[in-house]
């Protein structure tokens, strides 16, 4: 989208339309392809039995956050791409492998550790943060996500 | 309402009541405070989740929306993703309005005095940090500029990087991508957002401490 038509108006209805149009573009260009991909990957993992395997292997670690083992697939995918992680969460929810409390616990973690691979280039590379500290920042993000899941667990229990 | 249309082309410095009001209303709108208030159903007109609405049902009203039941793989994913589109449109449409009336500028103003004591960063880094909430790329570009102009030192650059890296593009990503999950959150939409915002600071403080202890020798010459 070009910036030429940006905010020529002060009419709140027109401004809403501009935003809603952005939302539609994001939904069509980012969300839908990712969700379709996530559904297909989830189906492949299911057919191969890998989903169950990951679920069993990680279920002890995930109990710390009172999440089922399959939640690890959301986190691993989110690390590569927040939209793909969201897609996996949506797909697992549709297959009743995650419930609404699980989704709520995972939501902040998806974005706190989300798209790290992509943002290495787009953020750390662009801002010229010395490479020596990239691992530190990455570990920090994962710690942030872990703490956030623990806090969400507490908030939900309230 | 200001009528001169070129005011929004410049970066506005003055932050009036309207901007603060817009920030407060934005927070209330997404807070879920007006969701299902007993005997005051009309308050739902000011609540994000209520306005998100719901689809009608099909054969089995208890659980079927138009997405249907027992669909699998690409076809199920497509229909499901389609059912998420209205939430995303509503979220970004409303966000655009709040941004227009200065909610983000007000947030910047409120954040600035916190930067020095909490992160050891000069106040003028606030704009780069707030920008990161909306756009990872713009935030990164502003940060590089501050470093190139020697406004911040290497250590501050890394702390800023830490703040931006975890939960990068927070507001935009949460409302654009995360809104796909909003329908199932058991807490108000604004709670995860506040938590993530706080965690950005927690992470940056952690990095600040790491730099002054574990990596101390890197900065002895600065």
DSSP B42-108: GGGGG-HHHHH------SSTTT--TT-SS--HHHHHHHHHHHHHHHHHHHHHHHHHHHHTTHHHHHH
Inter-chain residue contact A16 with B160, CB threshold 8 Å: no
Q: pLDDT for A86-99, tens place per residue?
A: 988 988 898 888 99
Interchain CB contact of A101 with B (< 8 Å) = yes
User: Beta-carbon neighbour count of residue B108 at 10 Å?
Assistant: 18
- CA–centroid distance for B169 within its chain: 7
- Chain A partners within 8 Å of B97 (Cβ): 12, 15-16, 19
Residues 6+ apart with CB under 8 A from B145: none
Split at pLDDT 50, 70, 90, the class of B65 is confident
- CA–centroid distance for B219 within its chain: 33
Q: Residue B11 pLDDT > 70, yes or no? A: no
Inter-chain residue contact B158 with A156, CB threshold 8 Å: no
Q: pLDDT for B126-157, tens place per residue?
A: 888 988 888 888 888 889 888 988 889 999 99
Give the ipTM: 0.81
- CA–centroid distance for B48 within its chain: 15
Q: Residue A12 pLDDT > 80, yes or no? A: yes
Q: Residue A154 pLDDT > 90, yes or no? A: yes
- Chain B partners within 8 Å of A47 (Cβ): none
Residue A18 near residue B92, CB atoms below 8 Å: no
Residues 6+ apart with CB under 8 A from B70: none
Inter-chain residue contact A23 with B140, CB threshold 8 Å: no
pLDDT score of A106: 95
Q: What is the DSSP string of B1-30?
A: ----GGGGTS------HHHHHHHHHHHHHH
- Chain A partners within 8 Å of B136 (Cβ): 119, 122-123
Which pTM was predicted? Answer: 0.77
User: Beta-carbon neighbour count of residue A100 at 10 Å?
Assistant: 14
Burial class of A149 by CB neighbour count within 10 A (0 to 12, 13 to 18, 19+): buried
Inter-chain residue contact A40 with B144, CB threshold 8 Å: no
- Chain A partners within 8 Å of B84 (Cβ): 27, 31, 35, 90
* 3-state secondary structure at position B168: coil
- Least CB–CB distance from B93: residue in A23, A89, A112: A23
- Chain B partners within 8 Å of A150 (Cβ): none
Calculate how close chain A gets to B216, using CA atoms only, in Å.
Answer: 13
User: Beta-carbon neighbour count of residue B164 at 10 Å?
Assistant: 29
Q: pLDDT for A124-136, tens place per residue?
A: 888 889 999 999 9
């Amino acid at each position: 989208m070009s910036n030429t038509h940006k905010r020529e108006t002060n009419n709140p209805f027109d401004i809403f339309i501009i935003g809603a149009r952005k939302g539609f573009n994001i939904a069509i260009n980012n969300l839908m392809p990712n969700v379709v991909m996530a559904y297909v990957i989830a189906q492949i993992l299911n057919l191969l039995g890998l989903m169950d395997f990951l679920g069993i292997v990680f279920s002890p670690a995930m109990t710390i956050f009172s999440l089922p083992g399959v939640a690890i697939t959301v986190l691993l995918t989110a690390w590569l791409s927040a939209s793909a992680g969201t897609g996996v969460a949506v797909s697992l929810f549709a297959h009743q492998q995650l419930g609404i409390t699980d989704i709520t616990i995972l939501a902040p973690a998806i974005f706190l550790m989300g798209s790290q691979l992509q943002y290495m280039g787009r953020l750390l590379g662009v801002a010229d943060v010395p490479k020596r500290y990239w691992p530190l920042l990455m570990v920090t993000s994962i710690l942030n996500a872990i703490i956030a899941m623990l806090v969400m667990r507490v908030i939900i229990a309230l | 309402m200001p009528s001169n249309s070129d005011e929004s082309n410049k970066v506005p410095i003055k932050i009036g009541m309207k901007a603060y009001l817009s920030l407060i209303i934005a927070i209330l709108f997404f807070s879920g405070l007006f969701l299902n208030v007993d005997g005051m159903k009309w308050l739902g007109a000011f609540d994000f989740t209520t306005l998100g609405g719901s689809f009608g049902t099909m054969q089995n009203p208890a659980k079927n929306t138009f997405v249907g039941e027992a669909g699998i793989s690409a076809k199920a994913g497509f229909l499901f993703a389609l059912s998420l589109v209205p939430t995303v449109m509503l979220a970004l449409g409303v966000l655009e309005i709040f941004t227009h009336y200065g909610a983000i500028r007000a947030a910047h103003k409120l954040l600035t005095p916190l930067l020095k004591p909490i992160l050891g960063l000069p106040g003028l880094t606030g704009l780069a940090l707030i920008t990161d909430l909306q756009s990872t790329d713009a935030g990164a570009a502003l940060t590089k500029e501050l470093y190139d102009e020697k406004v911040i030192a290497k250590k501050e650059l890394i702390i800023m990087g830490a703040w931006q890296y975890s939960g990068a593009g927070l507001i935009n990503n949460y409302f654009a991508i995360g809104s796909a999950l909003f329908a199932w959150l058991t807490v108000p939409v604004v709670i995860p957002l506040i938590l993530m915002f706080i965690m950005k600071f927690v992470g940056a403080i952690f990095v600040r401490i790491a730099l002054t202890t574990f990596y101390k020798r890197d900065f002895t010459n600065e």
